[in-house]
């Protein structure tokens, strides 16, 4: 004969179950990225192990179908083009070594776009991202507007870079940084609800507030833009 649990016993059991689930969701994650993580899925990109400039990691690019598709808005910029690592990340730090270089398959404005997506919901229907434009990293003489556009924040699907730049001409959602293409860069995002602090090679370069998405726990993506041959290594995820 089965006995019904008392309200107190049931409450304790429920609390322990929730605590255990929360603990699993918030456990740090470390990925050397010598191969595609077993739980990951590819979204309009290819990914393969590679050894480049002294580091082992993943080489990520657009698929041939994506590159050869019509040059419409959907594939031009700020899209769900990433290796998706599922999870329940909401706030905390994400760090990774990245290297972006042109692969000759992009449009003239390709800048070796490479970065991270986070809080990825519904397989890419919504997410936020911070990415680098390494070819905008070194200041020009005479100065160019691109000198202040080496780091970009966006929120998919409603707040891509072009809308942010148009509605916020003060440049609050992008920033300069001393970086270049075809070199390894340590990228760190420290995320807290509607704020993100972006560090490049150990130096904080960018800290936008009033981010354009409601914070929801989701996956993390290794993100590349069109025309990029991207490399990723040493991913560390530290939720809080």
> Does residue 5 lie within any of the structural domains?
no
Residue 186 sits in a domain whose CATH number is 2.60.120.560
> Does residue 39 lie within any of the structural domains?
yes
Residue 103 in contact with residue 231, Cβ under 8 Å? no
> Does residue 212 lie within any of the structural domains?
yes
Q: What is the domain range of residue 43?
A: 28-239
Distance CA 208, CA 190 (A): 11
Name the E strands within 54-173: 55-62, 82-89, 92-102, 114-121, 126-132, 151-156
> Does residue 142 lie within any of the structural domains?
yes
> Does residue 170 lie within any of the structural domains?
yes
Within a 10 A sphere around the Cβ of 47, how many other Cβ atoms? 21
Going residue by residue through the chain (240 aa), what tens digit of pLDDT does each one get? 444 445 443 333 333 333 333 334 446 799 999 999 999 999 999 999 999 999 999 999 999 988 876 655 445 689 999 999 999 999 999 999 999 999 999 888 899 999 999 999 999 999 999 999 999 998 887 889 999 999 999 999 999 999 999 999 999 999 999 999 999 999 999 999 999 999 999 999 999 999 999 999 999 999 999 999 999 999 999 999
> Does residue 61 lie within any of the structural domains?
yes
> Does residue 22 lie within any of the structural domains?
no
Number of structural domains in the chain: 1
Pairing of strands 228-239, 55-62: antiparallel
């Amino acid at each position: 004969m089965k006995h019904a649990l008392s309200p107190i016993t049931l409450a304790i059991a429920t609390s322990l179950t929730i605590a255990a689930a929360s603990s699993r969701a918030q456990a740090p994650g470390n990925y050397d990225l010598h191969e595609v993580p077993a739980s990951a899925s590819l979204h309009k990109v290819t990914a393969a192990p590679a050894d480049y400039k002294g580091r082992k990691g993943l080489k990520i690019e657009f698929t041939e179908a994506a590159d050869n598709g019509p040059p419409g808005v959907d594939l031009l910029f700020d899209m769900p083009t990433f290796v998706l690592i599922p999870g329940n990340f909401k706030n905390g730090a994400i760090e990774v070594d990245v290297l972006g270089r042109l692969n000759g398959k992009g449009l003239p404005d390709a800048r070796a776009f490479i970065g991270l997506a986070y809080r990825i919901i519904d397989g890419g229907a919504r997410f936020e991202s911070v990415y680098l434009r390494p070819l905008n990293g070194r200041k020009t003489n005479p100065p160019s507007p691109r000198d202040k556009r080496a780091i970009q924040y966006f929120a998919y699907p409603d707040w891509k870079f072009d809308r942010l730049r148009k509605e916020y001409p003060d440049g609050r959602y992008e920033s300069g940084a001393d970086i270049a293409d075809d070199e390894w860069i340590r990228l760190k995002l420290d995320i807290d609800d509607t704020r993100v602090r972006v560090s490049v090679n150990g130096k904080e370069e960018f800290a936008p507030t009033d981010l354009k998405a409601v914070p929801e726990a989701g996956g993390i993506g290794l993100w590349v833009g069109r025309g990029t041959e991207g490399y990723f290594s040493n991913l560390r995820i530290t939720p809080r």
